[in-house]
C-alpha cells in the first residue's frame, strides 16, 4: 500500500515513520522543506497510485479546510481523503459533502497517543462509510498498537463520528488531568506528606487510579520534583471547548470537564476582572479593605 | 432599656450609635480606649441593671469563646447573653449549655447590613427560647430598619438557628456576588459594550436582577470605572466555607456557592500547583511547550 | 408618536398597554385575532405614519428572523425596526445588514421585567446608532419606570450590544436564582430552622442579600410555603446557554453561571446516564452494590 | 511472620488470602463465625507471637475507634497496630497518641485495589515511624503486586500521612470516574455514535485516556451495554467529602473533585428543593409555567 500524507508536524512526522515501519509506503508533503518528501501537493498526488488514499494531518480549522478544498480540486473520482487531525466533527460533514459532489470519498479519524504514538502506536476512532474504512484498514493497522484491533481501533459511525469520539476523548482527558492536578495540589500543600513523588509512584501498580496519565505524572515529577521550572499557564487547543459546547447543545451536565476548562482559562489571567468586582463589592458593603492593584 | 455591648469594632461601634438613636441606653466595652464607655468588662457589668442583657459583638472563634466564658463566670442567674457576631452555629449550642449550667440565658443573632446598617438598619435572625427573644425585642427593634418587623427580623428557631440562617445568608451572598462578577467580566471583555458602568446603572430599576448589591456595584464603578485601583485578591471570612461544609454534611449539592468560594481561593494564588501539573502533563504526552516559571 | 408593535404575547401585550398609558399610540399585530389591532402586517404598516417605527416582540430565532425578513421587503427607506425580543446578539448584526441594504434602520433592545413590567416599567438596554436610539426615546421613556432615565435605560453600544447586555443580564439572573435556591435547600433541610418562610421575609430589608428576586421568593413561599405543588423540572430559554458559550468563546471562567445552567439540565433528567456509569464503575472495582434500575 | 488481622469483610477476607499466598501466617478475627479463625479478639491475641503485629481492617469511624481502644487495653508494650481501613487521617493522630501512652506502636496504611486486590495486589500508602514501617515490610510486600516495591508501596510520612494520601487518592478517583461518566453520557446521547461500547474498547491501548478504570468501564459495558439494569443512584463512602473539606480547610480550589461529589448528591434526590425554588422564581417574574409536583 502506498499513501499520501499531508502534514509532517509533531504528529504527522512520527506517523510517517510508524507507517513505514509497519510496511506502508508513504509520500509525505509539508511546507517545511527539511521534512517533506514531495516538493508540492501536486508532486505528491503524482507519486501516489490511484485510486489514491490521502491522509491529511494539518492543524484543524482554516488550514485543514484549505487543504481539503485544494484536494477537492485536484483529486480524481474514487480517491479517498482521511482527515486525521483534530477537526470539529461539524467540519467533517461539510468536507464530506464537498468531496462527494466530485465523487471523492471522505472519512475522518481521531488519533490519540501524542508524541508516544510512534513507539506505542496510536488509538484510532474512524468515521465514514464501511467500504472506505475497510479500504484504509492496512493504514489503521500500521498506526495502532499491536494486539487485538478492537483494543485500539473502532469504526465509530458515519462521517464525523470519529472526530466526535475524539472530541469527547479529549474532554475526558481534561477532566482526568484536572482530577490528578487537584490531588497533586492537596498533597503538595500538606506538611505531613514527606514523599510526594513517591506517593504518585506507588499508585502505578495496584491502585484504582493507575493510568497512563499517572505514569506520565510520575515521569514529570522525576524530571522536576517540585515543578519548579514550569509556569501554571495552560493553553487549550479547542476540543475541551467543543465538548462543553456539545454538552450545552444537548442539555447534558458536564461539571467536571467544564471545571477543567475553566481552570485553564483562570490559569491565563494575570488579574481577574470578576474577582476585582467581588473585592469591590465586599469593600462597598462591609468596609473590607481591598488590596491596591499591583 | 439599658444594655451592655461588648465589642465596638466596625460593626459594634455603629450598632451602639443606632441603638442610642433608637432610645436604647448602651454601655459599651472595647479594648480600644478611644471608643470604649467602660474601662473593663467588670465596670460594664456594674453599670448595666439586672437582670442584664449583654450583647457580644466580637470576632467569631477564640475571641467570642473567651468573652462568653468570662461572662459565664461573672454574670448572674437570669442575665441574658446575645452573641451577635458571626459565630458558627455549632458554637452557640456549646455556649448555650455552658451558660445554662449557671442559670444564664443565651441567644444568638445573625446581623446583616455591613457598614450601611447604621443608616439603613440591620437585618436580624435570632435563635433561642421565645421568652429570651421576646425580652430582647426592644433591642432588635432599634437595630432593624423601620417598618414591619417581619421584613427585617425573624425568630428563626432554637439556639444556633439564627447563626445558621446568617451562615446561609452569607453563602447566598457569595453566590450573588460571583454571578454579578462573572457578568461584569463578560461585559468588560466585549468591545461592543461602549457604556459598561451605564449598563449596570440601567439595571437598577425595572430589571429582574435589581438588588442592593447591584446598587453597590454601580457605586463601585462610579468611584473607579475600570476597577483600576483594586487588586483581584479576595479574602473570605469563614461563613462561605461553613456553608459548603454544611452542604457536604447534609449531602446537598451547592455548586454555585462552592464555585464562588473556590474563585476566591484561586484569586489568592500567585501560581497554581494544580495548573503547573496540568501543564506538565500536556508536555509529557503531547510535547506541548510549557512556559518557564516566572 | 405612533408606532407599530408586532407580537402581542406575554410580553408584547403588556408593553402595548404600558406604551398607551404612557401616551404612545400603538397599532399592534399578532396572529391571535383576540388581541391584534391590525388584521395583517400589511394593514399595520398602512396604519403607522412614515418614517415608521416598528417594534418587533416575537420569539427569538426563526420567528424573529422571518418577521424581520418580511419587514425588509415591505418597509420603506428611513423606517426603523427595533427588535425587543430575546434574540442572540449575533442575529442582530445579520438583521442590521439585511435592512441597511435597503436603507431601513435597525436597533436592538433587551427588555427585562417580566410580567411585572406593565406595572413597574421595564429595564431597557439598547444597541444601535445614536440617531436611531434618539428617535426612539419616547418609546423607551414610556416603557421604563419613572425616575431618572439612566436608572432604567442605557444605550449600550452599536447594533447587537443591547442584546449582548440582556444575554449577560439573564446569565447573571441564572446565577442569582441558583444561589438563593441552594440557600433555600440548605435552610429547608435543617430541623433547627422552625420558620423558613419567615427567614426569607426578614431578609427583605436591611440585609446584604435583599433584592427583587428575594421579594419574589417570599411571595412564592407565601403562596406555597413548602413548594409542594411545584415540580423541580426547570426549563431554560437560551440566554443562559449563550452566556456560557460566550464565556467559552472569550476564555472567561464563569463557574457560578454554568453551575446554574447545569443544575437545570440535571433537573430534567429522569435518570442520569453519567451517574449510572459511576455506579457501574464503583461496582466493578469495589464490589459496591448497584441499585436495580427503576 | 505471623500477624493478627481484625476484620474479614470484603477487603479483609481477600487480604488474608493474599497474605497467606505470600507466605505470611495470619490469624484472622471477625464477628462473622463463618469466616473467623479466632473465636474472639482475646483468642487472636493469644495466638499471635509477641511483639505482635495486628492489622485492623474494619469500617472507618466508630467501629475502628472501638477496636483500637480495645487493643489499647489488651496489647503489650512493643506491639504494633496498623489501621488499614479508610479512617480519616485526623483519627490516626488520636489513635497513635492513645496507644503510644501505653508503649504500643501505631501506623496507618491506605489500601487501594478493591475486589481485584487479591489477584492483582494492593497499592499501599503507609504513615508512621520508619522503624514501625520497616518492621511491617514483609506484610506490605505480600499485599502489594510483584515487581518494584516503589511502584506499589510508599512510606508517605508520619502517622496519618498514609490515610491522607489514600483520601486524596479517592478524591482523584471521584474526579476520574466523573470525567469518564460525563464522556459516556455525551457519546451515549449522540445518534452518530453507532458503536458506543466499541469506542471505549478502542481507547484501551494507545490513547491518552487509557487506564484501569477505563478497562473496568469496558467490562461494565460488556456485561450490560446500555447500563439498563443499573440505577443512577450513587453512594459515597466519605473520602470524597473529606477531600473537599481538606480543600476548603487549606483554601485550595478543587472544582472537578467537588463536581463529582455534588453529582453523587444530586443522583440521590428524588426531587430537588433548590430546583423547585428556581422553577417558582421563574414563574413569579416571567409567568413561566411550573410543572405540578409528581
pLDDT greater than 90 at residue B208: yes
Contacts with C116 from chain D: Cβ below 8 Å = 285
B67 touches C: beta carbon within 8 Å: no
Average pLDDT of the residues in C185-191:
97
Q: Which ipTM was obtained for this model?
A: 0.97
8 A C-beta contact, residue B116 and residue C206: no
Smallest Cα–Cα separation from A179: which of A149, A143, A217? A217
Alpha carbon distance A75, A93 (integer Å): 18
With an 8 Å Cβ cutoff, are C275 and D234 in contact?
yes
With an 8 Å Cβ cutoff, are C214 and B213 in contact?
no
Residue B130's CB is within 10 A of a number of other CB atoms, namely: 9
Question: A24-60 pLDDT, tens per residue?
Answer: 999 999 999 999 999 999 999 999 999 999 999 999 9
Q: pLDDT grade, residue D56 (50/70/90)?
A: very high
With an 8 Å Cβ cutoff, are A145 and D207 in contact?
no
pLDDT greater than 90 at residue D293: no
Question: B229-288 pLDDT, tens per residue?
Answer: 999 999 998 999 999 999 999 999 999 999 999 999 999 999 999 999 999 999 999 888
Which position among D166, D235, D246, D276 bears the catalytic label? Answer: D166
Contacts with C254 from chain A: Cβ below 8 Å = 262
pLDDT greater than 90 at residue A85: yes
Alpha carbon distance B39, B26 (integer Å): 14
pTM above 0.95, yes or no: yes
Which pLDDT belongs to residue C290?
Answer: 86
8 A C-beta contact, residue D100 and residue D111: no
Q: pLDDT grade, residue B103 (50/70/90)?
A: very high
Chains that touch C (3 or more CB pairs under 8 A): A, B, D
Q: In a mutagenesis test of the A interface, which of B276, B282, B294 is the best target, namely the one with the most A β-carbons within 10 Å? A: B276
In angstroms, the Cα distances linking A31 to A67, B122, B205, C175 are 12, 70, 60, 49
Question: Is B173 tagged catalytic?
Answer: yes
Average pLDDT of the residues in D67-95:
98
DSSP state of B211: B
DSSP state of C147: S
B/e letters for C55-88, b = 16+ CB within 10 Å, e = fewer, are bbbbebeeebbebbeebbeebeeebbbbbbbbbb
Which pLDDT belongs to residue B256?
Answer: 98
CA-based max dimension of chain B: 77
In angstroms, the Cα distances linking D282 to B33, C223, D286, D294 are 53, 14, 5, 19
Question: D144-170 pLDDT, tens per residue?
Answer: 999 999 999 999 999 999 999 999 999
Average pLDDT of the residues in D4-19:
97
Question: B3-38 pLDDT, tens per residue?
Answer: 999 999 999 999 999 999 999 999 999 999 999 999
8 A C-beta contact, residue D41 and residue D81: no
Which pLDDT belongs to residue C293?
Answer: 86
Question: D239-289 pLDDT, tens per residue?
Answer: 999 999 999 999 999 999 999 999 999 999 999 999 999 999 999 998 888
Average pLDDT of the residues in D130-146:
98
pLDDT greater than 90 at residue A294: no
Average pLDDT of the residues in D228-235:
96
Which pLDDT belongs to residue B76?
Answer: 98
Average pLDDT of chain C to the nearest whole number: 97
List all residues of chain C from 7 to 36 with a beta carbon under 8 Å from chain B.
Answer: none
Contacts with C246 from chain A: Cβ below 8 Å = none
CA distance from start to end of chain B: 62
Which pLDDT belongs to residue B230?
Answer: 95
Contacts with D272 from chain B: Cβ below 8 Å = 253
Average pLDDT of chain A to the nearest whole number: 97
Alpha carbon distance C40, C45 (integer Å): 9
Alpha carbon distance C249, D209 (integer Å): 26
- Residue D125 sits at the vertex; the CA angle it makes with D119 and D130, to the nearest 5 degrees, is 125
- List the single residue in A213, A216, A233 with the smallest CB-CB distance to B279: A233
Alpha carbon distance A231, B30 (integer Å): 47
D249 touches A: beta carbon within 8 Å: no
Which pLDDT belongs to residue A289?
Answer: 84
pLDDT greater than 80 at residue D294: no
DSSP state of D29: E
Question: B104-115 pLDDT, tens per residue?
Answer: 999 999 999 999
Question: C23-41 pLDDT, tens per residue?
Answer: 999 999 999 999 999 999 9
Strand B105-112 and strand B80-83: pairing?
parallel
Strand ranges (E), chain D: 2-6, 25-29, 53-56, 80-83, 105-112, 123-127, 153-157
B251 touches D: beta carbon within 8 Å: yes
Which pLDDT belongs to residue D200?
Answer: 98
Give the three-class secondary structure for D155. Answer: strand
With an 8 Å Cβ cutoff, are A253 and C266 in contact?
yes
Which pLDDT belongs to residue C289?
Answer: 84
Smallest Cα–Cα separation from C260: which of C276, C229, C227, C236? C236
Distance of CA C246 to the CA centre of its chain: 17
A176 touches C: beta carbon within 8 Å: no
Q: What residue spans of D136-160 are helical by DSSP H?
A: 137-143
CA nearest D235 in B: which residue?
Answer: B251
Q: In a mutagenesis test of the A interface, which of B111, B281, B289 is the best target, namely the one with the most A β-carbons within 10 Å? A: B281
Residue A98's CB is within 10 A of a number of other CB atoms, namely: 16
Average pLDDT of the residues in D89-99:
97
pLDDT greater than 80 at residue C294: no
D64 touches A: beta carbon within 8 Å: no
With an 8 Å Cβ cutoff, are C259 and A255 in contact?
yes
Q: Which three cell numbers stand for residue C256?
A: 457560578
Smallest Cα–Cα separation from D109: which of D15, D31, D177, D249? D15
Q: Look-up: residue for cell 474472639?
A: D40
- Residue A86 sits at the vertex; the CA angle it makes with A82 and A90, to the nearest 5 degrees, is 80
Contacts with A263 from chain C: Cβ below 8 Å = 253
Torsion angle defined by CA atoms of residues D224, D228, D233 and D236, in that order, rounded to the nearest 10 degrees: 0
Question: C50-99 pLDDT, tens per residue?
Answer: 999 999 999 999 999 999 999 999 999 999 999 999 999 999 999 999 99
Residue A23's CB is within 10 A of a number of other CB atoms, namely: 10
Q: pLDDT grade, residue B64 (50/70/90)?
A: very high
Average pLDDT of the residues in A113-135:
97
DSSP state of D230: B
Amino acid at each position: 500500500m502506498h499513501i499520501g500524507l499531508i502534514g509532517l508536524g509533531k504528529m504527522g512526522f512520527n506517523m510517517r515513520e510508524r507507517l513505514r515501519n509497519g510496511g506502508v509506503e508513504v509520500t509525505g508533503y509539508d511546507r517545511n522543506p527539511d521534512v517533506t518528501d514531495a516538493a508540492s501537493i501536486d508532486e505528491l498526488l503524482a507519486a501516489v497510485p490511484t485510486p489514491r488514499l490521502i491522509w491529511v494531518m494539518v492543524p484543524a480549522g482554516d488550514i485543514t479546510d484549505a487543504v481539503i478544498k485544494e484536494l477537492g480540486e485536484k483529486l480524481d473520482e474514487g480517491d479517498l481523503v482521511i482527515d486525521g487531525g483534530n477537526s470539529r466533527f461539524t467540519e467533517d460533514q461539510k468536507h464530506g459533502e464537498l468531496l462527494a459532489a466530485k465523487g471523492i470519498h471522505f472519512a475522518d479519524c481521531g488519533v490519540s497517543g501524542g508524541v508516544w504514538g510512534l513507539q506505542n502506536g496510536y488509538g484510532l476512532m474512524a468515521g465514514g462509510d464501511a467500504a472506505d474504512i475497510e479500504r484504509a484498514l492496512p493504514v489503521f493497522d500500521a498506526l495502532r498498537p499491536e494486539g487485538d484491533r478492537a483494543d485500539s481501533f473502532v469504526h465509530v459511525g458515519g462521517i464525523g463520528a470519529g472526530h466526535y469520539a475524539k472530541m469527547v476523548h479529549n474532554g475526558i482527558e481534561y477532566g482526568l488531568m484536572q482530577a490528578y492536578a487537584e490531588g497533586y495540589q492537596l498533597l503538595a500543600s500538606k506538611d505531613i506528606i514527606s514523599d510526594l513523588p513517591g506517593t504518585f509512584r506507588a499508585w502505578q501498580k495496584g491502585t484504582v487510579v493507575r493510568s497512563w496519565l499517572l505514569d506520565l505524572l510520575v515521569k514529570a515529577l522525576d524530571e522536576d520534583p517540585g515543578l519548579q521550572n514550569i509556569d501554571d499557564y495552560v493553553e487549550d487547543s479547542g476540543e475541551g471547548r467543543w465538548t462543553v459546547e456539545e454538552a450545552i447543545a444537548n442539555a447534558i451536565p458536564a461539571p467536571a470537564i467544564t471545571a477543567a476548562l475553566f481552570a485553564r482559562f483562570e490559569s491565563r489571567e494575570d488579574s481577574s476582572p470578576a474577582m476585582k468586582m467581588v473585592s469591590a463589592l465586599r469593600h462597598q458593603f462591609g468596609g473590607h479593605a481591598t488590596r491596591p492593584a499591583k
